[in-house]
Structure 1
Amino acid sequence: MRYHNTYVKLDTRLYNRQLPTPLNNPRAGHFNTQVAEQLGWADDDDLMARWVEIIGGHYVPTEFAPLSMAYAGHQFGQWAGQLGDGRGLLMAQVIDNNDQLQDLHLKGSGLTPYSRMGDGRAVLRSTIREYLCGHALINLGIPSSNALGFVVSDTPVRRERIEAGAAMMRVADSHIRLGHVEWIASFAPDLLGEFTDYMIDTYYPECRDSASPVLAFLESVVTRTARMIADWQLIGFAHGVMNTDNLSITGSTLDFGPFGFMERFNPAWINNHSDHSGRYAFQNQPAIGHWNMNTWLPHFMRLTQAGVTRDSLADCLSVYEPTFMQHYQIGLCQKLGLPHQSASLTLAFEFLTLLEDNLLDYTNSFRSLLALVAPTDFPYEQQLLETMLTELNAEALEVWQDWSTRYLTFIGQQIHLTKQQTIESMRTNNPVYVLRNSMAQHAIDAAEQGQFEEVARLFELLSTPYIVQDIATDLDSRPPMPNAPQLPISCSS
């Protein structure tokens, strides 16, 4: 691998150098050969032979430079003070085969100075969920962390019950969070200029060509965050804990806890059972992204010599809403195979209303429209469509008939897109499979009995989520019953 450990060269107040605490008897859970090839890990025989030892904390290659990061954050809207890597270590930074910087971050590595009241460990349940979700989002085309692999061990970890300790080597384009800047502003303000330069030079070098590199950088972070959250909304993904310490400066999805993919469409859906106020409900994610940016940006007011003023920061923030709206609206039209125009958006929002009023499955309903447009070409989608229609009462069926007639008429009148272009847009923007909570739980139940075949099957299934696959089971596309209790997902992991 091409090592490029730069974070360790920053001011030592920003981190703590340390080794991982080994897990007891680590064993292979799953290994991501695609990521290994991307990193160059697959080209190193020693790394390949000892990957379980490395993730289990028993072996640290000499080229690694393990450290735990200090950061702060706002959690559920309240200032939480110093946080930091309480159970993770930035093990190394490498340049991958795409010439992109990637962090290797070991999650579940043991106690650090930032563990607070925690034990520094991760459990198998949450490790599998994060491992599969990062893989799913990447293959859905959404910027996200991924993972090299995970291990399970005999180390007991107490959460609501005693569970098996696990560890995962997370791979992300950055582990710098909004909370890093919040920590600096509160505890080491003299580092803000140096750290901002590091963020620009490392992650946004193109901003150096701007008349004001700092402002260009800030606007880029705002833009990427808005686009990421629009992607979440389009695919039906709910992060669950959008604290400022859980958002990356690169606009990539990071830190999966009580996440979930929308099943029965309910915009007010709360997937985190600890979110009693619904702050991070699905429909609130765009507004929370704006809130986080608005909380983060003022810390740069100290950089007056870089041209930062209150008005210039307001200008940076002002791009958030139009960026989100444009990206979301274009994506919504693409899901219907329509050009981006007001008539298309009217049809799209009417379809969402139909889904909400009847608690229809989000993923299946959008995918089923392929059978409406091309009935003989999509037998799997025809089954989805028939199932959807059986869930509509007489009044809802009339609404559907009216909407589908106008939708097909609109497609037939199109001059911007051919029918084949419409179908291709729908096929590539509406997945067949997402990681439903029931799917993940089924894999977890088997893994807790020492069986990882279901993890491997889901990993393969989610590698090509836009294609109907023979390895799929009924569970992979079956939503819960309407108004059925949701599987509670907590922050404990």
Structure 2
Amino acid sequence: MRYQNTYTNLDTRLYHRQPPTPLDNPRVGHFNTQVAEQLGWNDDDDLMTRWVEILGGHYVPAEFAPLSMAYAGHQFGQWAGQLGDGRGLLMAQVLDNNDQLQDLHLKGSGLTPYSRMGDGRAVLRSTIREYLCGHALNQLNIPASNALGFVVSDTPVRRERMEAGAALMRVADSHIRLGHVEWIASFAPDLLAEFTDYMLDTYYSECRDSDQPVLAFLQSVVERTARMIADWQLIGFAHGVMNTDNLSITGSTLDFGPFGFMERFNPAWINNHSDHTGRYAYQNQPAIGHWNLNVWLSHFMRLTQDGVTRDSLAECLAVYEPTFMQHYQQGLCAKLGLPHQSESLKLAFEFLTLLEDNLLDYTNSFRALLALVAPEDCPYEQQLLDTLVLELGDNANNEIGTNADTNISTDAQQVWQAWREEYLAQISLLDKAAVIVSLQSNNPVYILRNDMAQRAILAAEQGQFEEVARLYELLASPYTVQDRAIELDTTAPARNARQQPISCSS
């Protein structure tokens, strides 16, 4: 691998150098061959043969430079003071096959000076969830951390119960969070200019060509964050804990602990059991992104160079809403196979209302639209469409057949039929092949549903990792119908079943 451990060149107040604390008897969980190839990890025999030892903390290659980062943050809207890597270490930074810098971050590596009341460990269930989610998001073309692999061990870890300790080698384009700047502003303000230059030169070097590089950098962070959150909304992803210390400066999804993928469509859905007020509900994510960036940008008032003023920072933040709306609206129209125009948006929002009013499955309902456009070529999607129509009838306590062309006799079906006719009228004006491509490439067949992850976790806790491997392969091609799938992979929960919130404990 091509090492480029640049973070170690920064002021030592920003981190603490230390090795990982070994796990007891680490064993293979799963290894991500895609990420290994991306990093060039598989070109090194020593890394390949000793990867379990490395993730288990028993072996640190000479080129690694492990350290824990200091940062701060606002948690659930409240200033939390100093935080930092309490159970993870930035083990190394490398250039991947695309010459992009990647962080190798070992999560579950033991106590650090920033552990506070924690034990420095991670448990198997949360490790599997993060491993599969990072893989899923990347294959859904959403910027996100991924992972090289994970190991399980005999180290006992106490959470709500005693669990097996595990470790995950997370790979991300950066582990610098909005909270890094918050820490500097509170505890080492003299470092702000130097650290800003480091962020700019390392991750936004193209901004050096601007007349005002710092402002160009700040605006780019705002834009990337807006697009990332729009991607979340489009796919139905809820991060769950959007504290300022959990948002990356690169606009890449990071630290998704109590995450969830939307099943039955409920915009007010809360997927974090600690979020008692619904601050981080799915529908609130765009507003929280704006709030976090506003907090972050305010600290740059300390800089006096490059035209940084209160007004110029406000102008940087002002691009957030139009960037989000443009990206989200374009994506929403693409999910219908339609061009981005007012008529398409009207149809899109009417469809979302239909899903919400009838608690239909978000992923399956969008994918079912293929059966309207090309019913003869889409047998799987035809089944989804039949289920959609059947549920509309059941929702009105009216028994109907399972054919999508059944005559409507209920309010819900009347809304559906009117929408369907208008949608097909717009589709008829477009190139059918292009519509099909848009529908197939913007509406996945498979997402990581909670029950899927839970089945893999329960098996892994019995020492069986075959389900993790199957889901890894399934989620590697989320837009393609696959024979390896089972019915439960795409089955929506019962309409009256509450989508369970996820614990933050990991």
Shorter-normalised TM range: over 0.9
- Deviation of 1:110 (Å): 0.2
Shift of 1:486: 2.3
Superposed displacement of residue 487, structure 1: 2.6
Measure how far apart 1:307 and its partner are: 1.5
Q: 1:396 — aligned with what?
A: 412
One-letter code aligned to 1:292: N
Residue pairs, 1:257-406, within 5 angstroms: 257-392=257-392, 393=396, 394-406=410-422
- Which of 410, 422, 436 pairs up with 1:423? 436
In the other structure, the counterpart of 2:473 is: 460
Cα distance in 1 for residues equivalent to 2:330 and 2:442: 11
Determine if contact 2:157/2:164 at 8 Å carries over to the other structure.
yes
Shift of 1:304: 1.0
1:451 and 2:467 are equivalent in the alignment: no
Match of 2:102 in 1: 102
Letter in 1 for 2:316: C
Which residue does 1:207 correspond to in 2? 207
Equivalence for 1:410? 426
What amino acid does structure 1 have at the position aligned with 2:254? L
Q: Which range is displaced more, 298-307 or 427-436?
A: 298-307
Residues in 1 aligned to 2:377 and 2:273: alpha-carbon distance in whole angstroms: 41
In structure 1, what is the Cα distance between the partners aligned to 2:121 and 2:271? Answer: 23
User: With structure 1 as the length reference, what TM-score do the two structures score?
Assistant: 0.99
Match of 2:497 in 1: 484
Q: Paired residue for 1:189?
A: 189
Match of 2:400 in 1: none
* Structure 1: 4+ residue segments shifted above 6 A: none
Name the CA distance, whole Å, in 1 between partners of 2:272 and 2:492. 18
SS state at 1:480 partner: coil
Partner SS for 1:93: strand
The percent of aligned pairs where both chains have the same amino acid is: 83
**5 Å matches for 1:75-114?**
75-114=75-114
* Number of residue pairs matched by the alignment: 490
Structure 1 Cα separation of the partners of residues 268 and 172 of structure 2: 30
Is 2:139 aligned against 1:139? yes
The CA distance in 2 between the partners of 1:398 and 1:14, in whole Å, is 61
What residue ranges of structure 2 are gaps of 5+ in the alignment? 397-409
1:485 Cα deviation from its structure 2 partner: 2.6
Residue 473, structure 1, aligned to residue 473, structure 2: no
Distance (whole Å) between structure 2 residues aligned to residue 20 and residue 304 of structure 1: 40
- The superposition leaves residues 331-384 of structure 1 with CA deviations (integer Å, 9 ceiling, x where unpaired) of 000000000000000000000000000000000000000001111010000000
One-letter code aligned to 2:437: E
Q: Tell me, what secondary structure is at the counterpart of 2:329?
A: helix
Letter in 2 for 1:465: P
Looking at structure 1, the residues matched to 180 and 420 of structure 2 have their Cα atoms a distance apart, in angstroms, of 49
Q: 2: distance between equivalents of 1:205 and 1:156?
A: 44
- Please list the CA deviations of residues 140-162 of structure 1 after superposition, one character each: whole Å capped at 9, or x if unmatched: 00000000000000000000000
Does 2:18 correspond to 1:21?
no
Q: Deviations over 1:418-458 (max 9, x none)?
A: 11101100100000000000000000000000000000000
Measure the CA separation in 2 of the matches of 1:238 and 1:114: 27
**Mapped contact 2:261–2:447 kept (Cα < 8 A):** yes
- Structure 1, unaligned runs of 5 or more: none
Kept after mapping to 1: 8 A contact 2:270/2:501: no
Instruction: Provide the rounded CA distance (Å) in 2 between the counterparts of 1:61 and 1:468.
Output: 41
For residues 299-343 of structure 1, the C-alpha deviation after alignment (integer angstroms, 9 at most, x for no partner) is 000111221000000000000000000000000000000000000
Match for residue 406 of structure 2? Answer: none
> For residue 299 of structure 2, what is the amino acid of its counterpart?
H
For each residue in 1:233-284, what CA deviation from the matched residue of structure 2 results, as whole angstroms up to 9, or x when unmatched?
A: 0000000000000000000000021000000000000001110000000000
Instruction: Output the amino acid matched with 1:429.
Output: N
Shift in Å, 1:99? 0.5
The one-letter amino acid of 1:341's match is: Q
SS at match of 1:475: helix
One-letter amino acid of the counterpart of residue 133, structure 2? C
Matches of 1:488 and 1:201, distance apart in 2: 40
1:30-179 residue pairs with structure 2 within 5 A?
30-179=30-179
State the one-letter code of the partner of 2:211.
Answer: A
Which residue of structure 2 lines up, in the alignment, with residue 441 of structure 1?
454
The two structures, once aligned, show a CA RMSD in angstroms of 0.5
TM-superposed CA distance for 1:411, in Å, is: 1.0
Separation in 1 of the partners of 2:489 and 2:366?
16
The offset of 1:479, in angstroms, is 1.1
Deviations 1:117-170 (A, max 9, x none): 000000000000000000000000000000000000000000000000000000
CA distance in 1, matches of 2:264, 2:235: 13
